[in-house]
A and B are shown apart, each in its own frame.
Chain A
Amino acid sequence: MNWDIIFGVSLESLFNTTMIAYALAAIGLNVHFGYTGLLNFGQSAFLGVAAYGLAMTVATFGAPFWLGIVIGLAGAVVLALLLGIPTLRLRADYLAIVTIAAAEIVRLLFRSVSLSEWTGGSDGLQSFSDDFYKLNPYSSPLKIGIVDFDPRELWVMTIGWALIGISLLIVFLAMRSPWGRVIKAIREDEDAVRSLGKNVVSYKMQSLILGGVLGSLGGFIFALSRAAVQPDTYGTEFTFYMYTIVILGGAARVFGPVVGSMIFWFLLAFINAVLPAAITQGYIPTWLMTPTQAGAVGYILVGAGLVLLLIYRPQGIFGDRKEVMLDGR
């Protein structure tokens, strides 16, 4: 077993682009679920719309990169409005079902053959990130011990961590403000807030837009780090991973999603590296597990982890049990 590689990959996952994309998405989801108590199961759609907004603008229509970013962000806002208008008046479980349905609609539209002229169908789109990488100031890879990042990844990571910093600051300031107090009060008791004369639906909509836009930043990082968009990566499992991350870190905590994402990806990368290695070395007999089956084990453990967290520690690492929206009908 090459422990250097296994631990190297795991340590890289504490900082790499995948972790950043999930952290940004989870920061957005934390605004929805953690602070406002909105059960948004369609967060992957926000990332997908942003990523495709960027990719389609640049790759399909040949427009400049910055316009792609603007269109991606605008797409997230429009999606929040489209999603919010029919659903925000509904009870939590209805909201969950409708948002997950909306996310599937978005994914199916992206992979549809009839729209493939613009979206590239199930193959997705490439070659939209050249302008972004042209700005790359790094020329040599970074090597610290067993951790190794190439210049392209370093550039995405720099931007990604800057975006995480900005997003955390926005969330911190927003939740300290009077607006944030109303948002948290909506989570605790919607009717009480309404009786104080606040327009609950409007506040929820603002929260949906804020969280969606923060999540869409994750969509940009996800697309740019891979230099490609592919519809099936924006499926419902993406959202379920984000929920695990938010709950692991602690819902309604500013740093919760980032810490959650780091721990989540460290563990998952470790499992995904150690299992195939153990199989090839013969520590795990092949009748028990083949390398292809090892991929499924990661998902099984994520599911089991989510179940155990919610049963035994719903507040996650940092959270406060009283602040987690787990009841209500």
Chain B
Amino acid sequence: MSFAVPATLEARLDELTTHYPQKRSASLMFLHALQEHFGHISDEAVEWTARKLGLTPINVHELVTFYPMFRQQPLGKTHVKVCRTLSCALAGSAEVRAHFCEKLGLDAHAHAPQTTADGKFTVEFVECLAACGSAPVVLVNEDLHEKVTAAKADDILRTGK
């Protein structure tokens, strides 16, 4: 798949650059826009951003890797975000994530988000989803699932195709 930024998007980003005293300050806005358009930030997107803003690719790469919500790989169709902040952690979110991983054949000990080989599921730990009262919680795409147990997790996997 070749990397091509639509002219309208490029024009919007060029205009955006003028809002900042330094071009470099527009880096995050560029990355947000590119992720929104392409679904993830590819190496080509990093190089394109660096070229546009007069930076070296490593400068942009630092940003992309610093923020966990910038995605370097395409996400699965169903995106399972398991909360790991205190309430959920106490209520067993680690087990919930391990269950998801096990069912999907992923490594439960890995640090970063993982996507199944068929591209259907991505599982990752995230920080607080602001539903501590019903921990552990899982956000599947845009839907919040509360008090998630192994059985509920299996339901989620069944429906999320």
A, B in one complex: no
